[in-house]
Amino acid sequence: PKTIAVLTSGGDAPGMNACIRAIVLACERENYTVYGYLHGYNGLLNQEYTQLHAERVHNLNQLGGTILHSARCREFKTQDAAERAAANLDALEVDMLIVIGGDGSFRGAMHLSNYWDGQIIGIPGTIDNDINGTDATIGYYTAIETAVDSIDKVRDTADAFERIFLVEVMGRHAGFLGLSAALASASDFVLLPELFESEAATLKQIGEQLSERREQRGNISYIIVLAENLWPGGINKLAEKLQSLTQSEVRPVILGHVQRGGAPVSQDRIMAMKLGAHAVSLAGSQTNCVMVGERYGKPCEVPLPVTWSEPKPLSDSDVNTMKQLMNNRYA
């Protein structure tokens, strides 16, 4: 029988708990021992863990957040920290460590592999979907739903007052969440890091689209989705610019951390369960330092460095649909 340890690290994402549950249940089936390290890599450094059994994960599938808590841990980048973590894992006789997190967490896992001989498996858990080698990440679909639900509500009030709203969505430095949320909410314009040309070009495009619409339909509501960390000076700066450009009030709304919370939607739950169970099935095999992701509905294994070596591209067909239906004067 093997001993497996699991931790959640970096930004939390809905579905992490469903993944923990799957790991624990798959381990119980094999008679493996499972430990959950607390607070991301901090728990690994401080030997702060809890043994997980089936009772602990009862009723857990639908819960947002992570029962193991997540955290950032700057110290983990040092050699000393990785050596301490390795000694702690050995003291518990851990055979395999599963890290559920984003690309930063995977870099941490790779760093640890230089000092620890055990098996290391990553599982993509982040609402940003910015990880190469997997079609989606755990939490991404739920975050889209949350953002769309919020933008729909903004639309109601924008329509009532015939106002312009600027809505900032998360995504770190990637536009996946912004693009999906803008498409599904039928927003009028979307600003994404992957497609951003310049401040001037963007303002010109929005100005033209808006004045054409106003000529055709009179005063209208108008929703712009903005990816975080994109506009120089931030959302308020852009709101000011748009206000003087359009001579209308522009209301900025930052959706913020609500996008990280909530019960996971079924797509995230099912993916989390499949990836967690698949990770456990690799225990004792030669497979090491890989992320278990999903391609075309099936689990796949991707070397950890591949997950961050290049930025993950947006889906061409999503971008084309956006270009056909939004950000242009016909929209």
Binding site for ligand ATP (CB under 6 A): 9-11, 41, 72-73, 76-77, 101-105, 107-108, 111, 126, 128, 172
Is-contact 112 104, C-beta < 8 A?
no
| CA–CA distance, 87 with 45 (Å, rounded to integer) | 9
Length of the chain: 331
**Is 11 or 43 the residue whose CB approaches ligand ATP more closely?**
11
Please give the Cα distance from 121 to 137 (Å, whole number): 15
Distance of alpha carbon 258 from alpha carbon 89, whole angstroms: 34
Q: Is position 128 annotated as part of the catalytic site? A: yes
**Nearest Cα to Cα of residue 16 among 66, 90, 59:** 66
Smallest gap from Cβ 242 to ligand ATP, in A, equals 29
Q: For residue 218, report the phi and psi dihedrals to the nearest 5 degrees.
A: 80, -160
Q: What is the smallest separation between the CB atom of 124 and ligand ATP, expressed in angstroms?
A: 9
Look at residues 211, 251, 221, 246 and name the one whose alpha carbon lies nearest to residue 235.
251
Exposure of 289 by Cβ count < 10 A (0-12 exposed, 13-18 middle, 19+ buried)? middle
The amino acid sitting at 234 is G
Give the Cα separation of 262 and 157 in Å (integer). 23
Catalytic residue among 12, 103, 128, 268: 128
**3-state SS, residue 175:** coil
Structure tokens at 42: 């901090």
**What would you report as the CA-atom Rg of the chain, rounded to the nearest whole angstrom?**
22
Residues paired with residue 190 on neighbouring β-strands, in sequence order: 225
| Residue from 279, 273, 278, 265 nearest 18 by CA | 273
Q: Can you spell out the DSSP letters for 27-46?
A: HHHHT-EEEEESTTHHHHHH
**8 A C-beta contact, residue 149 and residue 206:** no
Active site residues per annotation: 128
